[in-house]
Amino acid sequence: MNVLVINAGSSSLKYQLINVETRNLLAKGVCERIGDEESFHKHGLDSNESVISTPMKDHDEAIAMVLKTLVEGEDAPIDDLSQIDAVGHRIVQGGKYFSKSTLIDDDVIAKIDEMAELAPLHNKAALQGIQACRHHMGDIPMVAVFDTSFFQTLPPKAYMYPLPYELYEKYAVRKYGAHGTSHRYIAERAAALMDEDLSDVKLITCHLGNGCSVSAIDHGIAVDTSMGMTPLDGLMMGTRCGAIDPAIVTFVMEHEGLSPQEMNDLMNKKSGLLGISGISNDLRSIRDASSAGHERAMLAYDMYSNSVKKYIGQYMAVMGGVDAIVLTAGVGENCKKMRRMIFSGLQPLGIVLSEKRNAEGRGEREISHDRSSVRIFVIPTNEEYMIARDTYQIVHDKLGSELQEDDDVTWW
């Protein structure tokens, strides 16, 4: 089954066409600056990428462009749109409604719209992507895969905030988490690499990219995660502050004369690595500056690693131990210096990084020392594959008899 995976942002639209049974990536690309005069479309697999400047006034035009590219031209991966069997949409916020991925119908669309209050830019963009696919692909089956659904298993003691209970009743103020599809993928892969059942292991999964989050996954069930009602909570990130003393918010607003929106921007866009270093939100620039002795860059590095270290300790306490810690995303996959700092000093907890393994290798790998009782893995995330797989399973379950597909797919 070929699944088109769509990840629509407010001014961008990423896509991949994946054959789920073979795990073959048939095409991928991104439309950027949608709605802008300078909009462009990048398409192609790594060595063969082309960039075309082309007007796209909205997501509808972007989808039309993507579909045209998939069937036309020399390298077109398919001859006809009928070779796309289903579409999987990444949705950031499913709120209380969705504890798993689901087939899209009018009711699902209405609920995604309702949940847009918690993630306005993202959910509205996803809805535009869904409507555009409906417009251009007719009644093709579509599945919504939510970043939040993996965390619907959190117990109330983890998802409630110690605020007046009425705020939860009135506005559903609670933790929802984010990056769930990534945490789910690396947890499943880690269990496979350990040759264990996910339901037999305790894992701490760390998604360390521009946005960062850590999760505690106890015997396959997410029991806590660092992002909160919004993705601002938890770890220090590229431009987001993560958890801070909440009284700072009103203090800064009063002293700097900031509106709620301005304060929100300060915490989301001007803080984190960027705010502390004053250089960049990109860890590579901060690493170079800190190596050259830039004090604030060194401080940013120290704070970032300390922030991850503290969550590892917390989640070991929450689960009563851990079998493996898994790292993913730009920083987790690539930055050996940050990994060394995160795990330094954790030997008394049975967590021992191998300097040698940490310094070498690419792709999925174990980097813990043989004498570490907790295993440490680096696993490149693959949210798109997870979306394609969920889409396959849901469409196959619902429409199985109409599809001439092989039931017998092993996932890992």
Catalytic pick from 85, 147, 218, 224?
Answer: 147
Residue pair 278/295 in contact (Cβ under 8 Å)? The answer is: no
Positions in 18-37 near ligand ADP (CB under 6 A): none
Number of other CB atoms surrounding residue 337 within 10 Å: 16
Is residue 331 near ligand ADP by the rule CB under 6 A? yes
Nearer to ligand ADP, 211 or 275 (CB): 211
Task: State in angstroms the smallest separation of the CB of 33 from ligand ADP.
Answer: 16
**119 or 329: whose CB is closer to ligand ADP?**
329
Told to judge if 147 belongs to the known catalytic residues of this protein, a careful annotator would answer yes
Kindly list the distances between the CA atom of residue 330 and the CA atoms of 187, 203, 237, 364, in Å, as whole numbers in the listed order. Answer: 17, 20, 12, 14
Exposure of 285 in the CB half-sphere (CA atoms within 13 A): 10
Which residue is nearest to ligand ADP, using beta carbons? 330
Burial (CB count within 10 angstroms: exposed 0-12, middle 13-18, buried 19+), residue 47: exposed
Footprint (CB under 6 A) of ligand ADP, residues 281-300: 282-284
Which CB atom, from 131 or from 334, has the smaller least distance to ligand ADP?
334
Radius of gyration of the chain (CA): 22
Q: Do 203 and 214 meet the contact criterion of CB atoms below 8 Å apart?
A: no
24 vs 291, beta carbon nearer ligand ADP: 291
Among 115, 217, 329, 346, contact with ligand ADP (rule: CB under 6 A): 329
- Site track for ligand ADP across 183-222, x = CB under 6 A: --------------------------xxx-----------
- In angstroms, the CA 329 to CA 294 distance is 25
* Residue 357 beta carbon to ligand ADP: minimum distance, rounded to whole angstroms: 17
Shortest distance, position 190 Cβ to ligand ADP, whole Å: 18
Q: Which is nearer to ligand ADP, 284 or 356 (CB)?
A: 284
Among 321, 330, 350, 380, binds ligand ADP (CB under 6 A): 330
Instruction: Taking the CA atoms of 69, 75, 77 and 79 in sequence, report the sign of the dihedral they define.
Output: positive
d(CA 248, CA 75): 54
Shorter beta-carbon distance to ligand ADP: residue 68 or 336: 336
For the bound state, the minimum distance from the C-beta of residue 225 to ligand ADP, rounded and expressed in Å, comes to 16
CA distances from 331 to 36, 58, 335, 412 (A): 31, 32, 5, 25
Question: Which of these segments, 47-55, 112-120, 260-268, 328-336, binds ligand ADP (CB under 6 A)?
Answer: 328-336
CA distance 142 to 144: 7
Strands in 24-32's sheet, in edge-to-edge order, are 50-53, 40-43, 24-32, 13-19, 2-8, 86-91, 142-146, 102-103
Segments of 336-379 assigned E as strands: 365-366, 375-378
* Residue 335 binding ligand ADP, by CB under 6 A: yes
Interface map 226-245 toward ligand ADP (x if CB under 6 A):
------------x-------
Number of residues that bind ligand ADP (CB under 6 A): 12
Q: Are strands 365-366 and 375-378 parallel, antiparallel or unpaired?
A: antiparallel
Of 305, 288, 372, 299, give the one whose Cα is nearest residue 340.
305
Q: Does 10 bind ligand ADP (CB under 6 A)?
A: no
* Residue 121 vs 221, nearer CB to ligand ADP: 121
**Candidates 87-95, 165-173, 297-305, 323-331 — which segment interacts with ligand ADP by CB under 6 A?**
323-331
**What residue ranges bind ligand ADP (CB under 6 A)?**
209-211, 238, 282-284, 329-331, 334-335
- Indicate which residues carry an active-site annotation: 147
